[in-house]
Amino acid sequence: MRTWFEPDEDEEFEAAKALLVRRCLTWAGERRLPVEGVIVDAALESRHRSRDGRVCFWNARQVRRFLLEWIPHHVVASREVLDAAPDSLTTMFRYLAEAGLRDPRGATPAELEAAVDATAAEYPAVLDDPDRQSVATFWTRTALDHGVDLTDGKAVARFRRDVDAGRVDYDADLLDRLVMARFFESGPDEERAFPQPPVTLPPPAELTAAAARSEVVRQLVALADWTGSGGRALTGTGNLRLTDARELAALLGTGEQDLRARSAAELPKVGLLVAWAKAARLVRVSKGRLLRVAKAAPLLREPERLWSRAFESFFDLGAAIGASRSPLARLFDEIVDDALNSVYGMPAPMPVARLAEPILLACEDYLGFDDGVWREQVRQGLDSTFEALAALGAVELSHGLADELYSSDLDIDDHDLPPDARARLRARLAEPSPLVRLSPLGVRAVRDRLLAEGRDAPLVGELAGAAPAELLGMLAQHYPQEQAEEELRRWLAANGGSVEPLLDAVRACPFRSRAAALLDTLVRLHADGRAMLPRLRDDRVLGPIALTALVDAGTVRPEQLSPREQLSLMAEGLLNLLELGGPQQVVAQLAEVAGREASEIVAAVANSDHPADVAMAEFRSLVSVPARAPRHRLRMPDGHAPGSRGSRSRRGGRGRRRG
């Protein structure tokens, strides 16, 4: 069972969500913990429809988003159900942790409970604010207030006709406000971002030393010292006096001190560094003088902190980097952010030309530029951008032939770039050209920005303290082979070197499809993986999973199985199908494959000694018991199987979510 899905994997996500809701309600009921199915359903969907899509990744920010934004915007239920949301969320967090589903990169269960408690104080006022709902939620509530059964298509159609005919009373002023908010305000729905590949960073001491070697860090410190306590006079246009600018150029090593110039504005490197120091709040302008900021003195003595400040302030330097009227200056922060994100995690230096073409198209589309002058301005500005970032130590520049991965996709018909842009790229990539890659400092800085945006940006080594089940879950879904192998090696080194805790985690996993994925991940990544499966064939708990893998791989032939193993294999397959598709798919599959013998198969599986206690209990209650009911030989009414797709898995039917 997965906990991350592509945005268009609707059926797969709905099936997983139904299973999680079903299992969470059962688990909570056994422990008499408060929970409402509609709230759990909505919580899982809120994470799926987020920037990163990690259903089981939660932190304080996500708690606030769900309780203070998602519920009032999307969820329609009785006030009793809505009031129970904080307690239901806490119960869900406890279940995810116990089931081994929690993303270890998120907050701990204790931290999440504290976040729920802190947010709960604001929650009632948000529920009472009608302007927090969406337009769809408004009409859903209005329909329910008028007694419309939302499951009755004809009743809904009549309600729509009555609205169009003016026969339905509703708050028109509120609706107008909601419609305006829809166009001018961002709601809790987030556009899914591409997941980033795992990256590796050197030890912290190496990063600290690299920051201290940064040319820009040295220049910013020197500029602040040069400004002095008394400051430096500025001209009427806000520039340094030319004599001061030449002096500063010599001090900073820009090489501009001997240039023919009529004003400091004609010394662009000095101008950039002065603008950079202002943006980093190291110097300021007051009463016609450039002054040193006294509070920045401690920062000037800490190169690593100063480096981070300089990197973050760089996104505000568009006017200083390019021509002030160029499209690059107008879109600078977005362009630089996208460019660095594109370079992030790439295995080979990226050709600058590959970055330039999408930027040129974006400027053309959004700003309407249509002449060759601005194209050259953008190219020059992009070169200056990377030169400045290289001086900071955020990127590394080189010149040579680009790796073939940057041209291998240019022949795809549905490529994002138009044919003429691809033709230009092919020509440029066929010859040596400027290349760029992030430095280790740049990787760390870009990763920090990605995390601040709620993006998924794995770091090799960050799972060393994760619980075994959580580790395997992350490696199975988010790590390519090479990085996953390294992460597993680091985890084993930090946790005694034995695989037994990992095997125990697979044994304890209550989801059969997930347990199979976890074991497959361990076998695939561990040096002793190939020999592991045959040894596990006789393991009481792992045996059915290992046996399934051996048969699927052709290592064991079906005729070599004992009757007990055959039953175990059959049960494993049906339990997987139950989790992935719900009880109706199990019934349909058995009816199609086994015909009249389907009932006997259900009985044999239900009475078997398959070790998956949770899954077997669910099989007996959702498949075996209904199959034994009179006149219901393996038949279930559509939409009424608990936890099946189409069911909201809600408690008592008191709430439903509407988009």
The per-residue pLDDT for 422 is 87
Distance (Å, rounded) from C-alpha 322 to C-alpha 385? 8
Q: Say yes or no to pLDDT of 401 above 70.
A: yes
CB atoms within 10 A of CB 185: 8
Tell me the mean pLDDT in the region 375-392: 89
The per-residue pLDDT for 324 is 58
Q: Which helix (H) or strand (E) holds 444?
A: helix 440-452
Q: Say yes or no to pLDDT of 375 above 80.
A: no
The lowest-confidence range among 87-91, 234-238, 423-427, 485-489 is: 423-427
pTM of model > 0.85: yes
Tell me the mean pLDDT in the region 226-240: 93
The per-residue pLDDT for 629 is 62
**What is the tens place of the pLDDT at every residue in 175-204?**
888 888 777 777 788 999 988 999 999 999
Place of tokens 């988003």: 65
- Report residue 299: phi and psi, to 5°: -65, -35
Q: Could you tell me the two tokens for 396? A: 């590394």
The per-residue pLDDT for 321 is 85
Confidence class of residue 630 from pLDDT cuts 50, 70 and 90?
Answer: low
Give the CA dihedral 623, 628, 631, 633, nearest 10 degrees: 50
Tell me the mean pLDDT in the region 608-623: 94
Distant-in-sequence, close-in-space partners of 269: CB < 8 Å, separation ≥ 6: 249, 252, 254, 255, 256
**What is the tens place of the pLDDT at every residue in 582-594?**
888 998 998 888 8
Distance (Å, rounded) from C-alpha 189 to C-alpha 3? 18
Confidence class of residue 640 from pLDDT cuts 50, 70 and 90?
Answer: very low
Percent with pLDDT over 90 in the chain: 70
The per-residue pLDDT for 78 is 87
Q: Say yes or no to pLDDT of 396 above 60.
A: yes
From the number of C-beta atoms within 10 Å of its C-beta (0-12, 13-18, 19+), residue 276 rates as buried
Distance (Å, rounded) from C-alpha 356 to C-alpha 598? 62
Are 415 and 329 in contact by the 8 Å Cβ rule? The answer is: no
**What is the tens place of the pLDDT at every residue in 325-358?**
677 788 889 999 999 999 999 999 999 999 988 8
The lowest-confidence range among 158-162, 281-285, 319-323, 526-530 is: 319-323
Query: Which of 70, 100, 102 shows the shortest CA–CA distance to 85?
Result: 70
The per-residue pLDDT for 389 is 97
Distance (Å, rounded) from C-alpha 223 to C-alpha 226? 5
Place of tokens 């050197």: 202
Q: Say yes or no to pLDDT of 628 above 50.
A: yes
Confidence class of residue 323 from pLDDT cuts 50, 70 and 90?
Answer: low
- Kindly report the average pLDDT of the chain as a whole number: 90
The per-residue pLDDT for 369 is 62
The lowest-confidence range among 233-242, 261-270, 555-564, 620-629 is: 620-629
Q: In what order do the strands lie in the sheet with 395-400?
A: 350-351, 433-438, 395-400
Are 224 and 230 in contact by the 8 Å Cβ rule? The answer is: no
Are 190 and 47 in contact by the 8 Å Cβ rule? The answer is: no
The lowest-confidence range among 92-96, 110-114, 654-658 is: 654-658
**What is the tens place of the pLDDT at every residue in 447-457?**
999 999 999 99
Q: Say yes or no to pLDDT of 647 above 70.
A: no
Are 381 and 326 in contact by the 8 Å Cβ rule? The answer is: yes
**What is the tens place of the pLDDT at every residue in 288-311?**
999 999 999 999 999 999 999 999
The per-residue pLDDT for 659 is 40
Q: Say yes or no to pLDDT of 370 above 90.
A: no
> What value does the CA radius of gyration of the chain take, rounded to a whole number of Å?
31
Tell me the mean pLDDT in the region 139-167: 86
Tell me the mean pLDDT in the region 215-241: 95
Confidence class of residue 80 from pLDDT cuts 50, 70 and 90?
Answer: very high
- Size of the chain in residues: 659
The per-residue pLDDT for 367 is 65
Give the residue with greater pLDDT, 138 vs 104: 104
The per-residue pLDDT for 507 is 97
Are 58 and 93 in contact by the 8 Å Cβ rule? The answer is: yes
